[in-house]
Amino acid sequence: MVRTPHGAVRGRYEHGIAVFRGIPYAAPPVGPRRFRPPEAPEPWAGVRDAAAFGPTAPKPPYSGAFALYLSDPAVPGDDCLNLNVWTPEPGPGARLPVLVWLHGGALTRGSSAVPVYDGRTFARDGVVCVSVNYRLGVEGYGLFPDAPANPGLRDQLAALRWVHQAIAAFGGDPDRITLCGQSAGAISAGVLLAAPQTQGLIRRAVLQSGPPEVSERDRVRRMVRRMAARLKIPATAEAFAAVDRDLLLRTQAEVGRLSSPVLGGPAFGIVVDGDLVPGDPLRALTEGGAARDVRLLMGWTRDEYRLWLVPGGLVERVDRLGPVALAGAMARCHAGADVARGYRALHPEAGTAEIVGQMVTDHLLRIPLHRLADARPGGCHLYEFAWPSRRPGLGACHALDLGFVFDSGAVPESTRLAGEGAPQELADAMHGAWVRFAATGDPGWRSWDASHPVRIFGDGDGDGDGVAYTAHGPRDAQLALWPAAATLPRPAPDPDIRAPGAELASAVRRLRRSVGARRR
């Protein structure tokens, strides 16, 4: 039994690890709290059972193609603002390092109940692990004239404050908190790093396949407006709150089905709100001095794009579209023809889908993460995950690294993406690096400097043992193709001004129509 700020909870010992699941850190976001910032939960009397995962945030299921690869359990209930704690030594006095996990899922899917995110292995190795649920989709990131922006991000801040206040009772050290996330979780972690309200709460941070970024307000607003048009209601929080939740989720899935990191389109995202997100977070971290004392571990997978393109059969379609697809990617990435020609020269055997995928990955992930590392020499460690899945066509795709970071390759949900027979020695190497970083700030390889050291996991090449080795500037030739202007963060447009770039939107629409026509 452990006492939290709002009441006592009773967990369970599993494999020698104390586990507490479903602890509320905020009140249920229902009724008048819907679409509003989180509020503290009501204190409870007695001892609350914390044996099972709490309710997950409302979300649509993955489409059939993606569900073959990704697990996303749903737990019904309103009390979805909850978290889980794995600890080897509950009780004050242990002062162990703490890792707080923010799941990915494009801010529309995912939860802390995904079996791949089992925190037991971190606790086994001396790190208190906390995983967090937060609001998703239109309820977490819809942009309305009558409600504050970014309630899902505000949920994460509330959870982080809860951890800072309560984790000592679970054996954790509130002064050694590592905020860690993947994909949308990494984007969230990066934005929180730059937020004035988190100063002093985060000691270290891990950004896996996601840079600090904000979405254009118009892009998010278009998502809300399209949902409103289908529902035949005003695009207000009051009107959306009156819609049946299942209908709302179905409408959200329908409107967002053609949006992807490669094709673009309207989507939910974190926006500048003048409060929690006062400006561009990448600029704040690279030029404004935000979180200068926070050490960073950042990286990507070698073939991020394959999870975006393979499940729906888009690799073959993009290859057939050829120049049309490449033109769409150039517009999407604000890149000229010389950039595309440079990728062709560096990868002469690659098909169009690989060229497009690598260009978009560089634009969205590698360029901003390199910029962040360049601005903080000595304070960052970079990695690339290169082991290819045993599932056909996936390569070293987005999210494949998670089963290795959590050392959870034995669970069936990990094999959906990795296939059978994932190497345990690779999990030992990656998981061990994350444990060392959470404990000491040093994952075990050279920090970023002018030689651009990058730890490569699972390549089998280089001067290492095939599990991990350090390469210097492995992406430099690719990233040098981009003009300096392409690496600068773009300010979010004024809420009352339509975002510029009509030629970009037109090119992306043409690509999406071409893909849709071929799909039909």
* Cα–Cα distance for residue pair 400/385, rounded to 1 Å: 9
Residue 292: what pLDDT? Answer: 94
Residue listed under structure tokens 């208190």: 128
Concatenating the DSSP letter of every residue in 107-129 gives TTS--TT-GGG-THHHHHTT-EE
Concatenating the DSSP letter of every residue in 242-271 gives TS-HHHHHHHHHHHTTT-BTTTB-S-----
Residue 495: what pLDDT? Answer: 34
**Longest Cα separation, the chain:** 68
Residues contacting residue 473 through CB under 8 Å, at least 6 positions apart: 451, 452, 454
Residue 10: what pLDDT? Answer: 98
Residue 422: CB atoms within 10 A of its CB come to 20
* Cα–Cα distance for residue pair 412/390, rounded to 1 Å: 14
Q: Name the stretches of the chain with pLDDT < 50.
A: 462-464, 485, 488-512, 514-520
Residues contacting residue 130 through CB under 8 Å, at least 6 positions apart: 83, 84, 85, 86, 98, 99, 100, 101, 119, 159, 163, 167, 172
Residue 328: what pLDDT? Answer: 85
For residue 320, the enclosing domain spans 2-519
Domain count, the chain: 1
Which tokens in the block code for residue 10?
């009773």
Q: Which residues are catalytic?
A: 183, 304, 398
Which tokens in the block code for residue 283?
């600029």
Residue 313: what pLDDT? Answer: 86
Whole-angstrom CA distances from 152 to 83, 107, 240, 285 are 14, 8, 16, 21
CATH of the domain at 293: 3.40.50.1820
* Cα–Cα distance for residue pair 273/143, rounded to 1 Å: 10
